[in-house]
């Protein structure tokens, strides 16, 4: 107030320029209580410059933040040596905002810095054409434009805190500069200890140290998980002591602190508030806009992109609560898109547009046509109409949409490429108020806390008092280095900045100050007290060099040690859950693996499928039997729970289905052409015919639906693999001419058990056999089951010391039983054939077929009959059926206990925590 009183009262107008809006409100209120308000205009520096420029300027308008960013991004996108990355945009933005009239090229600059200066010159030319200017330009022109020189008092600033163009402005104007003259009268009810602490701050007297009087306390969390709960406990205690007071919580990141503490306070009936600052892209509105822009940026003909990245973006959009799509519909769309590798952007957009509520119809179409402002307007109207949403959520989204609208308008004004809008959104931050009610606890930054009126709160919490949160390190980046080369830099004194903020923030509490420090960080490494922490503590130390009187763990004089509540990390779960102590203990007995309740048993019972309920009996497929035999619990998880994702993956089952279909069509066409089998004489014709079938099926894959097991070739590696597959199968056709002498392919993809029942181990079996070759001379058959993967474990394993005749893989042997019973054929061999690698596994009857007919691919010691007393296949199939029957009885009884039959079963089992797990598979 000394500066104002020094100005002659007879002057008609006097200006008082203060740093912050909160300061102007406080001083206007103070002046209104006295007689000094008449003729005094109080404003912030930016507001005063705008007002004076509007009165005395040349007609140009000040450029807005959004327009500046869009114009800079547009200029950078056209410069060959620079990219419009968020970092470069921010660098150029800082330069033009504060130094535009003073920027010029110098020999000290490197090529990249010269390019930046060139872009600032282009920017200056473009804003002049648009009738715009920067505040730095206004600050240079304003002293010469003002015609009536009114007395100006600038208070609350330090010269080294002023921007470069503001310092030059004050040098040109005749102003009265009163440094840090903002202190209002101290409330009379303020505790004496706080006043004394402030008077000794930064100049402690070891000969006369402060004595604790209960108005300064400390709290220490052992680690980050305990911090929020400890602060909550202390806040509750402080409000119990000062129930009508206001508590100010100063934190390095108040938004994060509010999110962790506010709900804990709400459970105690305490409301809190905070001005939340977050990146625009972290809001539902910002994320939806960025994802839609990214979705639309892909070429709709590029199926690789539209089938990978876009489906994930589309799924996240469908689940975005802002768009109002029903959750059940979002799940359906997710499964639909992920199961279709040929999904296109246009199709995804059409699906989303169909699912949007009526109020948002046209929203996606506007974005497709690059009418972003119109699209944001539709979203804004939609959010405004949703009165059923929580108010805090609506405030956040409306704040985000307001910023999006300003950005979109700026991009349209500057004709900036729309592709640069998404990166811009990812860097922009927004700020909006958030509260849980009539707040007694206010969260803020140190900067915001230092702007509050003295005595504005009862209790002050200074949180995060560590060097990690408040490092004493001056900023060194590309901007500071460039300004130093241009001669525009200024020396930074981080210590003085913290001192000033700390001094002002300590003026705000009347009754109590609590300082919080976490003793270890997220990596469990010890933290160190911040500069402000040590300056406060030093006021209570009798000697600044005597370490004997200092508690080394808490860095406190022993006189302050009794006021240091702490919270450990041993109760991590309770700390994170927001519970101060565990009052209720509930114990739940974990269910035993493989045991089902009576009401859930029917969920496992068979039959299921197209013939369920027909012909009666217990119906099951050979693949189900084989899976159940390997391990009942793995079968239950994989077949009944069905935990597999719906994604249409490249290769895999689609590749196997393609091979099966290619061989089926080839043999059908070969037989129709009058050939009984592939021989050395018709090999050329057979291979030409197979090549035609292969190519025709390849061309038809795009026309199939995802549920038909199609085999898509969308990448170069997939096409290369498919070309190799063509060569490998042609080699298999040549190999067929040397295999299975006397046998002819007769049944292809033969279905059984549907029209005429086939009973096996007291169960009805139905399925399909890939191929049956017949020897017409003796009516014998070879059962062939195609496998495109590894054949490890498919041997018959008729070894001498084996206790069981049951092989690991039993499908083909059950097929053999169906052929034997339904077709009346004698089984000569049961084979698993990998047509890609030319491998064979299984078993053969040496009295019916010679080993030379199998081209020496089988191991006789493991695959030949008769062996170990088993005469032929009827004998072997009967033995296998008898051994399988107890397993099927267990399946009927819904026994699903984990019982892996061999070690490899566990290698790829999805059940990680199982007492029967064996082997060293991928989970171990």
**pLDDT attached to residue 700:** 93
C-alpha distance across the termini of the chain, in Å: 74
Alpha helices for 173-279 (secondary structure H): 192-200, 224-241, 254-267
Helix (H, G, I), strand (E, B) or coil at 18: strand
- For the beta sheet containing 767-775, the strands, ordered from the edge strand earlier in sequence to the opposite edge, are 744-752, 767-775, 780-786, 826-834, 839-845, 864-865
**pLDDT attached to residue 2:** 40
CA angle 743/746/748 to nearest 5° reads 125
CA atoms lying within 13 Å on the CB side of residue 905: 24
Cα 196 to its chain centre, rounded Å, is: 50
**pLDDT attached to residue 262:** 94
**pLDDT attached to residue 188:** 59
How much is the pTM?
Answer: 0.78
**pLDDT attached to residue 477:** 79
Helix (H, G, I), strand (E, B) or coil at 221: strand
pLDDT tens, position by position, 469-515: 999 887 777 888 888 888 887 777 788 889 889 998 999 999 999 99
Helix (H, G, I), strand (E, B) or coil at 885: helix
Contact criterion met (CB below 8 Å) for 461 and 517: no
Choose the weakest-confidence range: 38-42, 285-289, 394-398, 689-693.
Answer: 38-42
Does 3 or 426 have the greater pLDDT score? Answer: 426
**Residue 663: pLDDT band by 50, 70, 90 thresholds?**
very high
Q: Per the structure block, which two tokens stand in for 643?
A: 């935990």
Does the pLDDT of residue 650 top 90, yes or no? no
**Residue 156: pLDDT band by 50, 70, 90 thresholds?**
confident
**Residue 835: pLDDT band by 50, 70, 90 thresholds?**
very high
Contact criterion met (CB below 8 Å) for 378 and 360: yes
CA 29 to CA 681: how far, in whole Å? Answer: 108
Does the pLDDT of residue 570 top 70, yes or no? no
CA angle 102/103/104 to nearest 5° reads 120
Average pLDDT over residues 652-673: 92
Does the pLDDT of residue 606 top 60, yes or no? no
Does the pLDDT of residue 8 top 70, yes or no? no
Choose the weakest-confidence range: 12-16, 147-151, 297-301.
Answer: 297-301
Average pLDDT over residues 199-217: 88
Helix (H, G, I), strand (E, B) or coil at 624: helix
**pLDDT attached to residue 616:** 56
Burial 485-508 (b: 16+ CB within 10 A, else e): ebeeeeeeeeeebbbebbbbbbbb
Does the pLDDT of residue 689 top 60, yes or no? yes
Does the pLDDT of residue 734 top 90, yes or no? yes
CA 486 to CA 105: how far, in whole Å? Answer: 8
Does the pLDDT of residue 16 top 70, yes or no? yes
Helices (H) and strands (E) in the chain, counts: 34, 25
CA distances from 134 to 76, 100, 297 (A): 18, 7, 33
For residue 555, count CB atoms less than 10 angstroms from its CB and return exposed for 0-12, middle for 13-18, buried for 19 or more: middle
Contact criterion met (CB below 8 Å) for 120 and 89: no
Q: Per the structure block, which two tokens stand in for 878?
A: 């009967």
Q: Tell me the angle at which helices 65-78 and 86-99 cross, rounded to the nearest 10 degrees.
A: 120
pLDDT tens, position by position, 252-274: 999 999 999 999 999 999 999 99
Burial 379-407 (b: 16+ CB within 10 A, else e): bbebbeeeeeeeeebebbbbbbbebbbbb
In degrees and rounded to multiples of 5, residue 374 shows phi and psi of: -65, -40
**pLDDT attached to residue 591:** 67
**Residue 612: pLDDT band by 50, 70, 90 thresholds?**
very low
**Residue 300: pLDDT band by 50, 70, 90 thresholds?**
very low
**pLDDT attached to residue 1:** 41
The closest of 587, 876, 877 to 758, measured between CA atoms, is: 877
């Amino acid at each position: 107030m000394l500066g104002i009183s020094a100005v002659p009262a007879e002057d008609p107008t006097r200006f008082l320029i203060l740093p912050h809006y909160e300061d102007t409100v406080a001083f206007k209120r103070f002046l209104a209580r006295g007689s000094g308000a008449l003729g005094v205009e109080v404003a912030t520096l930016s507001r005063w410059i705008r007002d004076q420029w509007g009165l005395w300027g040349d007609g140009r308008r000040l450029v807005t933040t959004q327009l500046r960013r869009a114009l800079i991004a547009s200029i950078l996108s056209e410069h060959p040596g620079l990219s419009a990355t968020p970092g470069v945009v921010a660098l150029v933005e800082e330069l033009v905002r504060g130094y535009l009239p003073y920027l010029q090229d110098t020999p000290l600059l490197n090529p990249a810095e010269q390019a930046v200066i060139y872009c600032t010159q282009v920017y200056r030319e473009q804003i002049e054409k648009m009738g715009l200017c920067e505040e730095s330009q206004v600050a240079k022109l304003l002293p010469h434009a003002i015609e009536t020189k009114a007395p100006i008092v600038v208070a609350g600033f330090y010269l080294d805190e002023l921007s470069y163009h503001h310092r030059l402005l004050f040098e040109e104007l005749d102003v009265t500069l009163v440094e840090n003259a903002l202190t209002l009268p101290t409330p009379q009810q303020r505790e004496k200890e706080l006043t004394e602490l402030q008077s000794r701050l930064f100049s402690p007297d070891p000969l006369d140290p402060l004595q604790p009087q209960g108005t300064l306390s400390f709290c220490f969390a052992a680690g980050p998980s305990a911090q929020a709960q400890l602060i909550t406990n202390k806040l509750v205690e402080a409000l119990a002591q000062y129930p009508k007071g206001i508590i100010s919580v100063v934190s390095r990141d108040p938004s994060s602190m509010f999110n962790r503490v506010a709900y804990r306070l709400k459970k105690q009936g305490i409301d809190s508030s905070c001005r939340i600052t977050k990146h625009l892209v972290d809001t539902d509105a910002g994320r939806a806009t960025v994802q839609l822009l990214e979705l639309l940026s892909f070429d709709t003909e590029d199926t690789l992109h539209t089938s990978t990245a876009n489906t994930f973006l589309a799924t996240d959009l469908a689940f975005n609560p802002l768009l109002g799509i029903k959750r059940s519909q979002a799940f359906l769309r997710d499964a639909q898109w992920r199961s279709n590798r040929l999904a296109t952007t246009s199709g995804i957009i059409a699906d989303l547009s169909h699912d949007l509520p009526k109020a948002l119809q046209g929203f996606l179409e506007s974005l497709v046509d690059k009418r972003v402002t119109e699209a944001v307007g539709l979203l804004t109207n939609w959010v405004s109409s949703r009165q059923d949403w929580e108010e805090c959520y609506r405030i956040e989204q409306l704040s985000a949409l307001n910023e999006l609208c300003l950005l979109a308008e700026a991009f349209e004004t500057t004709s900036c490429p729309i592709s640069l809008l998404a990166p811009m959104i990812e860097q922009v931050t927004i700020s909006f108020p958030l509260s849980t009610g009539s707040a007694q606890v206010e969260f803020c930054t140190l900067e915001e806390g230092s702007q509050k009126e003295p005595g504005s709160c009862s209790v002050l919490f200074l949180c995060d008092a560590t060097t990690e949160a408040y490092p004493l390190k001056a900023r060194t980046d590309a901007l500071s280095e460039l300004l130093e080369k241009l001669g525009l830099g200024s020396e930074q004194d981080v210590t003085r900045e913290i001192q000033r903020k700390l001094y002002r923030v300590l003026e705000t509490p009347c009754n109590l100050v609590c300082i919080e420090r976490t003793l270890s960080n997220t990596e469990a490494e010890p933290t160190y007290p911040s500069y402000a922490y040590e300056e406060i503590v030093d006021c209570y130390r009798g000697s600044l060099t005597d370490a004997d009187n200092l508690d080394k763990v808490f860095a406190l004089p022993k006189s302050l040690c009794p006021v240091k509540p702490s919270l450990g990390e041993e109760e991590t779960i309770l700390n994170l859950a927001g519970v101060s102590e565990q009052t209720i203990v509930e114990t739940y007995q974990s269910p035993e693996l493989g045991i089902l309740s009576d009401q859930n048993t029917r969920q496992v019972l068979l039959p299921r499928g197209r013939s369920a309920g027909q012909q009666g009996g217990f119906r099951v497929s050979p693949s189900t039997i084989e899976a159940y035999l390997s391990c009942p619990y793995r079968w239950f998880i994989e077949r009944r729970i069905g935990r597999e994702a719906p994604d249409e993956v490249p290769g895999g089952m689609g590749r196997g289905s393609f091979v099966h279909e290619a061989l089926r069509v080839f043999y059908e066409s070969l037989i129709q052409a009058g050939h009984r089998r592939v021989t050395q004489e018709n090999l050329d014709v057979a291979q030409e015919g197979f090549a035609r079938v292969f190519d025709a099926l390849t061309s038809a894959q795009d026309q199939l639906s995802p549920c038909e097991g199609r085999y898509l070739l969308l990448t170069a590696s997939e096409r290369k693999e498919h070309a190799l597959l063509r060569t490998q199968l042609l080699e298999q056709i040549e190999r067929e001419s040397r295999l299975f002498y006397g046998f002819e392919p007769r049944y292809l993809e033969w279905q059984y058990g549907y029209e005429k029942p086939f009973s096996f181990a007291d169960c009805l079996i139905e399925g399909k056999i890939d191929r049956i070759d017949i020897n017409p001379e003796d009516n014998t058959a070879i059962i062939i089951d195609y496998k495109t993967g590894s054949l490890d474990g498919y041997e018959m394993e008729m070894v001498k010391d084996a206790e069981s005749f049951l092989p690991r893989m039993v499908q083909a042997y059950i097929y053999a039983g169906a052929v034997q019973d339904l077709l009346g054929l004698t089984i000569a061999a049961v084979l698993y054939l990998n047509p890609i690698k030319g491998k064979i596994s299984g078993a053969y009857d040496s009295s019916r077929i010679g080993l030379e007919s199998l081209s020496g691919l089988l191991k006789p010691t493991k695959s030949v009959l008769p062996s170990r007393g088993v005469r032929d296949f009827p004998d072997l199939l009967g033995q296998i059926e008898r051994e399988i029957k107890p397993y099927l009885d267990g399946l009927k009884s819904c026994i699903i206990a984990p019982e892996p039959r061999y070690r490899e079963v566990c290698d790829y089992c999805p059940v990680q925590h199982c007492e029967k797990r064996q082997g060293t598979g991928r989970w171990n």
